[in-house]
Amino acid sequence: MSPEPTEPKKFYVLSTTEGCATNLLENNAYRKQYEIAGMESASSPEEADLILINTCGYSKEMEDKAVNIIAGHRQKYPGKQIQLAGCLPKINPQKIRKDFAELKVQHFPEIPFEDQGNEFASKDFGGLSFKHRLMVNARPLFFKIENLLGLKWQPLHNLVNSVVVNSEFFLITVSTGCLGFCTFCGIKKAKGSLRSRPLPTIASEFKKGLAAGYKNFWILGDDIGCWGQDLGLSIVDLLAEFTKTKEDFNLVINYVDPQFIAKYPNQLVEVLKDRRIVGVNIPIQSGSTPILKSMARRYEAKPILKIIEQMKVGNPNLAIKTNIIVGFPNESWSDFFQSVKSVFAFDAILALKFTARPGTPAATYPNQISETVKSLRHTLINLAILGRHAWVLLASLFRVEAPELPYPTTPVQNKV
């Protein structure tokens, strides 16, 4: 008779993400759940009885990476319990049921935000992509050179500080989920609708970070643009809460859906004049209006790019990042070149090839673009991005930090 399976005593948590800050922070919460269950943290998969794989699946590429890691661990550690968590089981449950039916998908009950903590566990950086690890390791040297020369090259300094995850940051999750129904997006299936954290809770975490001596702060959410819409507040109130203090700090804002840039243009241009706000990601996704419509994105590119220009005038040090999808169904060459043109409004750009996510409207749209054309467009836009990044680098080296403005500037009212 086969011996009763013994209760796992030691656990090990790993991520398959390339650099999703939210996914990495969730690892802390998963570890806490196992500790609450009386288990001990192992320092390696070898040492563990149970391995939790926290998956990412926003693109086919990330799904394939997660599937390879799961299959690899199942093969390498046949005697261990392997459990799955994260986005992929929600984005593509059929794939998990088909390939990993015997593995348990961990649906921890609603994990309180607090359990995520406010710091990355540096042990989670080991699984990052080469590009991310290169930036994480080169960053201290870059700042050393600046200090030696007594200069701050902007916006390059703010980019290097915030373009990828950074263990120097105090992380504050302000919300989860979003109000969008973007036709390409699998994340919505994983994160659901918007749940904003109350402003007083966010404010007290910010104070906790300042009191702990942190200078760098990163506010996280799937779409921070919609923060507060379920509380009768808005992103303008959120940023006003951070900038009302006289303390010095650096603030990075994760994703802001451009529809909220269009909704609060003047207030956001005004609050972003505060040089303590050093980075924001505004995923434009496409430069073409017809494509944005078919993505169910609720804005047009041109007016957004105009507002971004104003933001850069108000705060030249601000590092503005974006994501662009190429090869979306029915994308013509002229649509594509609209996206290439939009590259030049940003300081850091990530271009992704459209990949159909299961159960999303765009997955069954007619006029899907062939892999060959998608790859050609991806190569072309990456050439434009390379040019833009080189320009931002050179322009920064020949332009030192704009003089500090006394802040806070004019208190920003949410004049909606």
180 contacts ligand SF4 (rule: CB under 6 A):
yes
Which residues have a Cβ under 8 Å from the Cβ of 123 and sit 6 or more positions away? none
Residue 125's φ and ψ, nearest 5 degrees, are -75, -15
The secondary element (H helix, E strand) that includes residue 250 is strand 250-255
Tell me which residue has tokens 């322009």: 395
Cβ distance to ligand SF4 smaller for residue 203 or 296: 296
Residue nearest to ligand SF4 (CB): 180
185 contacts ligand SF4 (rule: CB under 6 A):
yes
* Residue 47: half-sphere exposure toward Cβ, Cα within 13 Å: 10
Distance separating alpha carbons of residues 269 and 212, to the nearest angstrom: 30
For β-strands 40-41 and 250-255, DSSP reports them as unpaired
301 contacts ligand SF4 (rule: CB under 6 A):
no
Distance separating alpha carbons of residues 265 and 339, to the nearest angstrom: 22
Give which of 175, 264, 172, 277 is closest to 219, Cα–Cα: 172
**Smallest distance from the beta carbon of 178 to ligand SF4, in angstroms?**
3
CB atoms within 10 A of CB 334: 9
**Smallest distance from the beta carbon of 222 to ligand SF4, in angstroms?**
5
Applying CB under 6 A, among 29, 87, 165, 187 the residue interacting with ligand SF4 is: 187
**Smallest distance from the beta carbon of 52 to ligand SF4, in angstroms?**
24
**Smallest distance from the beta carbon of 25 to ligand SF4, in angstroms?**
17
412 contacts ligand SF4 (rule: CB under 6 A):
no
311 contacts ligand SF4 (rule: CB under 6 A):
no
Count interface residues toward ligand SF4 (CB under 6 A).
9
Q: Please state the separation of Cα 343 from the chain's center in Å.
A: 19
Applying CB under 6 A, among 52, 160, 164, 182 the residue interacting with ligand SF4 is: 182
Give which of 291, 343, 304, 339 is closest to 321, Cα–Cα: 343
Cβ distance to ligand SF4 smaller for residue 167 or 323: 323
Distance separating alpha carbons of residues 38 and 101, to the nearest angstrom: 27
Cβ distance to ligand SF4 smaller for residue 187 or 319: 187
Encoded tokens for 362: 């765009």
Cβ distance to ligand SF4 smaller for residue 83 or 175: 175
Applying CB under 6 A, among 51, 178, 325, 352 the residue interacting with ligand SF4 is: 178
Applying CB under 6 A, among 223, 270, 331, 335 the residue interacting with ligand SF4 is: 223
* Residue 284: half-sphere exposure toward Cβ, Cα within 13 Å: 32
Cβ distance to ligand SF4 smaller for residue 8 or 283: 283
392 contacts ligand SF4 (rule: CB under 6 A):
no
**Smallest distance from the beta carbon of 93 to ligand SF4, in angstroms?**
18
**Smallest distance from the beta carbon of 360 to ligand SF4, in angstroms?**
9
176 contacts ligand SF4 (rule: CB under 6 A):
no
Applying CB under 6 A, among 65, 90, 188, 276 the residue interacting with ligand SF4 is: 188
Residue 117's φ and ψ, nearest 5 degrees, are 75, -170
258 contacts ligand SF4 (rule: CB under 6 A):
no
Distance separating alpha carbons of residues 271 and 277, to the nearest angstrom: 9
Applying CB under 6 A, among 18, 26, 124, 257 the residue interacting with ligand SF4 is: 257
Give which of 162, 132, 158, 115 is closest to 13, Cα–Cα: 115
Distance separating alpha carbons of residues 6 and 83, to the nearest angstrom: 16
For β-strands 195-196 and 175-176, DSSP reports them as antiparallel
**Smallest distance from the beta carbon of 364 to ligand SF4, in angstroms?**
17
282 contacts ligand SF4 (rule: CB under 6 A):
no
Residues at the contact surface with ligand SF4, assessed by CB under 6 A = 178, 180, 182, 185, 187-188, 222-223, 257
